[in-house]
Amino acid sequence: MQRRATMPCPSPLTQARLVRYPMGMSIRIATWNINSVRLREETVLRFLREAGPDVLCLQETKSPDAAFPHDGFDAAGYTHRHVRGEKGYNGVAILSRLPLEPLTHRDFCGKGDCRHIAASVGGMTVHNFYVPAGGDVPDREANDKFGHKLDFLDEMRDWFGPDGNAPGGPSVLVGDLNIAPQEHDVWSHKQLLKVVSHTPIEVEALEAVRASRDWIDTAREITPADEKLYSWWSYRSKDWSAADKGRRLDHIWITPDLRGALRSCDTHRDVRGWEKPSDHAPVVATLDV
């Protein structure tokens, strides 16, 4: 069981050992921005009991590693973990009931914030990302946070691209990517074109990341592009479900060699309505490996 974040090591990520399982096994991988894992531990445990993913990737855990609530997840059967967190901000974690091999994380933009973690599970490399939100003003000259977001995406593109040194082989990229790229990934394409998370410059930058390794967007592989699909609803909406002004910010991508393994991708919208919810809903993809 891994209880601590893996520290950078001299060996490259590409040389890490892949943990493999028998052929014909299905693995359900979930991603969820939990907005504080300690505050919402019981909510996470309920989701694990009811949805039963094999692997759960969390973002915005907001917990230093020493304070991560390991005991509850042990009792729930998720005894394999890889966490990388910091007090009050950011933070990513991978919880699994299957053996995993922690891999070295990358410090994107050299800021030392906890926005990426990786592990080998089921013969696949799983990357868990928390892309910067980007603030409120979509102008890098007027808003450093927006510039950080664009630089982070550019670095992702280059790392996964042909001249980068990201791991090869079957891979899954999940996380809160903080961008709703397609027209029907937001409640109003026209009204959100100048709102951070759906601006053309962000969409173009995310598409460059996707194209860097021909990643497949599992949700849109399953759900047609002309159907509305969201994973985030603002806390500011008094009746979020009735208003339904959502955005699809949470994603699960797979490399082309896993396309034939994809069986489903579902957004668990009902979880957004549970007691003490995150403003994000979990997204779960099933792969036959």
**Tens digit of each residue's pLDDT (9 = 90 or more) over 220-258:** 999 999 999 999 999 998 899 999 999 999 999 999 999
Report the run of H or E that residue 155 belongs to, with start and end.
helix 144-160
Architecture field, domain 23-288: 4-Layer Sandwich (3.60)
Which has the closest alpha carbon to 176: 105, 260, 92, 238? 92
Is 69 exposed, middle or buried, given 0-12, 13-18 or 19+ CB atoms closer than 10 A?
A: middle
Question: Quick one: pLDDT band at residue 10, thresholds 50, 70, 90?
Answer: very low
CA distance 100 to 81: 8
Look at the block and give the residue holding tokens 């992702």. 156
Question: Quick one: pLDDT band at residue 23, thresholds 50, 70, 90?
Answer: low
Which has the closest alpha carbon to 30: 172, 182, 229? 172
**Tens digit of each residue's pLDDT (9 = 90 or more) over 121-160:** 999 999 999 999 999 999 999 999 999 999 999 999 999 9
Quote the pLDDT of residue 24. Answer: 63
Q: What percent of the chain has pLDDT over 90?
A: 90
Residue 163, Cβ neighbours under 10 Å: how many?
7
Quote the pLDDT of residue 25. Answer: 82
Q: Are strands 216-217 and 250-254 parallel, antiparallel or unpaired?
A: antiparallel
Q: Residue 127's beta-bridge partner residues? A: 118, 173
Evaluate whether 186 touches 231 at the Cβ level (below 8 Å). Answer: no
Alpha helices in 61-116 (DSSP H): 70-75
CA distance 198 to 221: 20
Angle of helix 144-160 relative to helix 200-212, nearest 10 degrees, comes to 20
Q: Residue 250's beta-bridge partner residues? A: 176
pLDDT at residue 64 tops 60? yes
Domain positions in the chain are 23-288
Question: Quick one: pLDDT band at residue 195, thresholds 50, 70, 90?
Answer: very high
**Tens digit of each residue's pLDDT (9 = 90 or more) over 51-62:** 999 999 999 999
Quote the pLDDT of residue 220. Answer: 98
Evaluate whether 240 touches 281 at the Cβ level (below 8 Å). Answer: no
Segment 174-202 shows an average pLDDT of 98
